[in-house]
């Protein structure tokens, strides 16, 4: 009789364990390092090509759901410079020019959403800074220069060129003397 009662209680305990509900927050995604909610900063050169990979996004979900990433906001909001490609790749979608950029950095708020039944949404901050590159060709200050030297000018003597338009003196050195 006692053995039967023990089996009964054991059965009840098993049932109780099986009926423990899954907490609602179980499927809330969590960004993994380095895409922590506190933020990650990347620096890109101003001459990167469109489509450059900035970050491969990653998040975990206790509910084993499929996680989708999206850019919630970009600051400044225009022009749009980034997108998420192939589901997880944060890439550039426009060119950059350090000299004319209204802002030298962009702050992106990225959300991770799980398709699990009791899903939640996590947000991470990614800051992308644009670095200056010497991407400008040298430019002469004038198109035409002129100078006159004596025919017996020795090699190494300084001669003075004058710019055709600005008449601004500049110094050069003779590297070869002719007869
Ligand atoms: Ca530039
Ligand atoms: Ca530059």
Report pLDDT digits (tens) over 47-59. 999 999 999 998 8
What is the CA(71)–ligand 2 centre distance, in A?
A: 28
What is the CA(83)–ligand 2 centre distance, in A?
A: 24
Question: Which secondary-structure segment (H or E) carries 17?
Answer: helix 2-18
The contacts of residue 26 (CB under 8 Å, 6+ apart) are 62, 63, 116, 118
What is the CA(133)–ligand 2 centre distance, in A?
A: 4
Spatial separation of the C-alpha atoms in residues 13 and 8, rounded to whole Å: 9
User: Could you tell me the two tokens for 32?
Assistant: 């993994």
Spatial separation of the C-alpha atoms in residues 141 and 148, rounded to whole Å: 20
Q: What angle do CA 104, 106, 109 make, to 5 degrees?
A: 165
What is the CA(100)–ligand 2 centre distance, in A?
A: 9
Q: Which ligand is closest in space to the CA of residue 100?
A: 1
Spatial separation of the C-alpha atoms in residues 150 and 135, rounded to whole Å: 40
Report pLDDT digits (tens) over 121-167. 888 899 999 999 998 887 877 777 777 888 888 888 887 777 665 55
CATH code of the region 23-131: 2.60.40.60
pTM of the shown model: 0.63
Report pLDDT digits (tens) over 25-55. 445 677 664 455 557 899 999 999 999 999 9
Q: Where are the domains of the chain?
A: 23-131, 140-179
């Amino acid at each position: 009789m006692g053995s039967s009662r023990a089996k009964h209680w054991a059965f009840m305990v098993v049932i109780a364990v099986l009926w423990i509900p899954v907490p609602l927050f179980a499927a809330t995604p969590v960004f993994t390092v380095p895409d922590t909610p506190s933020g990650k900063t990347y620096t890109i050169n101003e001459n990167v090509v469109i489509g450059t990979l900035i970050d491969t996004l990653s998040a975990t979900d206790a509910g084993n759901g499929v996680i989708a990433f999206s850019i919630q906001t970009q600051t400044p909001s225009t022009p749009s410079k980034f997108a998420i490609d192939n589901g997880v790749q944060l890439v550039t979608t426009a060119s950059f020019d350090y000299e004319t950029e209204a802002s030298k950095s962009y702050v992106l708020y990225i959300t991770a959403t799980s398709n699990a039944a009791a899903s939640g949404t996590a947000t991470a901050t990614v800051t992308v800074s644009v670095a200056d590159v010497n991407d400008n060709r040298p430019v002469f200050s004038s198109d035409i220069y002129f100078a006159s030297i004596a025919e017996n000018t020795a090699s190494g003597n300084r001669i003075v060129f004058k710019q055709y338009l600005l008449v601004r003196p500049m110094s050069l050195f003779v590297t070869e003397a002719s007869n």
